[in-house]
Structure formats: C-alpha cells, structure tokens
Amino acid sequence: MNVLWPVFHDPSYRPAFGERLTFHWKANLRMLRHPKDIVLFSLISFAPLLLLVSFTRLFPDLFRAVSTPTNPVPNMAPLLFTTLVTFVVFLVLQHLAFVVAINLTYVPHVRSVLLDRGVPLCRRCAQLLPPHAPDSACPECGHTESLATMSDSGPHGVDA
C-alpha cells in the first residue's frame, strides 16, 4: 500500500477527464451503499484530530504564553514554535491517515467500477492486465480474480 498517495489504477491507464469524473462519481455512489466503509473512513480520517485535541489537553502548558510580574510581556517565540511544530506534525499525520483511509475504503470501489466498465486491471495492485487473458494471474502481484471464485465454487470450479 502506498501511504503517500492513493493509487486508484495503473498509471499507464490514462482516462480522459470526463471518464475520470464519471468513474469517481460512480465509485462514490458505490461506497455510499457500504456503510462499513464510510464508518471506517471517518474513524481513520478523524483520528489525527482526536490526537491533536488530546495532545493539547495533556500538555496545555506547551500552548500557553506565560507572563510574570518581572516580565509582564510574555515571550511569544516558544509558543509560536510549539504551535507551528504541532501544526506541521498534525498535517503530516492527517495526510497519512487520509491516504490510508482512501486506500482501505475507497480504492476498492474505484477498481470495482473500473472492472465493471471493462478496464482490465488487477483488483489488488491495479496493474493493467492483458485484455485477451483476463483470468490469468497478475504479472505484478500474482493475484488471480478466478482463484477467489474457484474457492467459492468448490473443487469442480477448477475444471470449469
């Protein structure tokens, strides 16, 4: 799983902008019909926010400029520094959480929609498969679409 950026499909598959909009729209609608994915997506993508709130509650002194009688004008530099560092760490965590959430919950819907639209890609790694051999194993990750259906249909599925 790429945690820096979601991989929806093989980069060599270059759909037009309109086609992109269409399959993402359909993937969104498909995901809306799967409440478990929406709950998981929300939980993962809100986790950094919960962490941020907990952190500021646990260490409130880090985010407070203190003035003393001898120095009535508080030194703002440490406060600015901790706020900036906290914000940057939060942004990084938020991005990672968002990508993980998309990879786990949204990407499978995009790939299903693409497969439904006849784009021959591997469901696991999104590699474009040769269109003449849709049932052969993925050359990139070895995933076979028919293997999953064969195990469901029992030993006779091998001959079919």
CB of 139 to Zn ion, least distance (A): 8
CA distance 67 to 73: 6
* Helices (H), ranges, the chain: 17-32, 35-58, 77-101, 107-116, 145-153
Residue 98 or 120: which CB sits closer to Zn ion? 120
Residue 95 or 123: which CB sits closer to Zn ion? 123
Contact criterion met (CB below 8 Å) for 150 and 158: yes
Residue 97 or 129: which CB sits closer to Zn ion? 129
Residue 44 or 145: which CB sits closer to Zn ion? 145
CB of 31 to Zn ion, least distance (A): 22
- Contacts with Zn ion by CB under 5 A lie at 122, 124-125, 127, 138, 140-141, 143
CB of 122 to Zn ion, least distance (A): 3
CA distance 28 to 61: 43
Both tokens of 50, joined, read: 């919960």
CA distance 116 to 12: 19
CB of 137 to Zn ion, least distance (A): 8
Residue 4 buriedness (CB in 10 A; 0-12 / 13-18 / 19+): exposed
